[in-house]
């Protein structure tokens, strides 16, 4: 019985050490994110929101949507940065125009930000809400691992 417990403890320790050496970390639970751009008069122009989770050296997204006002266009931009080098590792951008009669949220499906190319990977991501119709005004939020 004691030998079995010692063996289980050794396997668990070996798994943790291997994960630390290889740089693998388990996926974390999803957390919400959002970025908003507001016109100078106070009206909300663009909102990008959803959920994110870190895994290994990358970040993935779920339930992402962008709020766009009537007869306007907006962009959602996602940037993945390496915090050790300060370099941009991956980016993705989605543009949506709303030709409906009411302002609304539209679902988008960004593929995530891949940082597997580099030591440390994506340690920070920035989400931007961009007002395309009125000259590209931008609201942004930054999230750190």
From residue 84, alpha-carbon distances to 27, 88, 89 in Å are 21, 11, 12
Task: Count Cα neighbours of 13 within 13 Å in the Cβ-side half-sphere.
Answer: 6
Q: What are 41-61's pLDDT values in tens digits?
A: 899 999 999 999 999 999 999
Single pTM value for the model? 0.79
Q: How are beta strands 88-98 and 72-81 bridged, if at all?
A: antiparallel
Number of separate domains in the chain: 1
Tell whether 12 is covered by a domain.
no
Is 9 a member of any domain? no
pLDDT over 70 at 4, yes or no: no
The two three-digit tokens of residue 118, written as one number: 């580099």
Per-residue model confidence (pLDDT) at position 28? 64
Task: Tell me if 16 is assigned to some domain.
Answer: no
CATH code of the domain containing 66: 2.60.40
Any domain includes 55? yes
- Indicate whether 126 belongs to any domain: yes
| Residue 15 in domain | no
Whole-number Å distance between alpha carbons of 3 and 43: 67
Q: Is the pLDDT of residue 77 over 60?
A: yes
Task: Specify if 35 maps to a domain.
Answer: yes
10-45: pLDDT as tens digits: 444 443 333 333 344 455 689 999 999 999 889 999
Domain boundaries, position 64: 25-144
* Sign of the CA dihedral running 95, 110, 129, 84: negative
- Is 20 part of any domain? no
């Amino acid at each position: 019985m004691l030998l079995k417990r010692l063996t289980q403890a050794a396997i668990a320790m070996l798994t943790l050490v291997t994960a630390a050496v290889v740089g693998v970390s388990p996926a974390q639970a999803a957390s919400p994110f959002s970025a908003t751009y507001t016109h100078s008069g106070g009206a909300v122009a663009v909102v990008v929101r959803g959920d994110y989770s870190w895994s290994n050296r990358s970040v993935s997204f779920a339930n992402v949507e962008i709020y766009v006002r009537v007869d306007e266009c907006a962009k959602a931009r996602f940037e993945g940065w390496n915090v050790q080098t300060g370099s941009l590792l991956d980016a993705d951008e989605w543009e949506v125009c709303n030709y409906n009669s009411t302002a609304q949220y539209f679902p988008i499906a960004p593929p995530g930000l891949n940082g597997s190319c580099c030591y440390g990977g994506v340690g920070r991501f920035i989400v931007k809400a961009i007002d395309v119709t009125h000259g590209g005004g931008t609201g942004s939020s930054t999230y750190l691992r």
